[in-house]
Amino acid sequence: MKTQQSIYWSALLVLTGIMLFSVYKYFTQYEMISGFFEHLNYPTYLIYPLAIAKILGLIAIWGNFSPWLKEWAYAGFFFDTLLAFFAHYITDGHNYLFAFIGLIATLSAYFMGRELRP
């Protein structure tokens, strides 16, 4: 049980760190992020709404308000990290490690959290 708690909280902290880092970059370095989005063939108008969605998702997970809301937040993070992973992998063939770590952290936090947190 102690190991599961350690894995859960570590994965949740990694996921939170990655999402907060990306939100920070989205708001403070819009031009650079815009270039990345264009390189990955994503529309740049998604940058600010995606940053806000990430903040709301973290609030939903950490706030533990409702299981339904938390499920949707994890689903959003899953699709965000999955699409980021494949976009980097297909477009660049490298630079996908950060997205892969986010994907693993999302899945680990979700499945461990289902057992540990109500």
pLDDT of residue 45: 94
Give the residue extent of every domain in the chain: 2-116
pLDDT(117) > 80: no
pLDDT in tens, 14-61: 999 999 999 999 999 999 999 989 988 889 999 999 999 999 999 999
Q: Are 53 and 76 in contact (CB under 8 A)?
A: yes
Of 33-37, 50-54, 63-67, 93-97, the poorest mean pLDDT is in 93-97
User: What does each C-alpha distance from 105 to 14, 38, 46, 48 come to in angstroms?
Assistant: 6, 26, 23, 23
pLDDT of residue 118: 60
Q: Are 22 and 51 in contact (CB under 8 A)?
A: yes
pLDDT, greater one: 11 or 91: 11
Of 3-12, 70-79, 109-118, the poorest mean pLDDT is in 109-118
Under the banding of pLDDT at 50, 70 and 90, the label for residue 95 is: confident
DSSP category for residue 1 = -
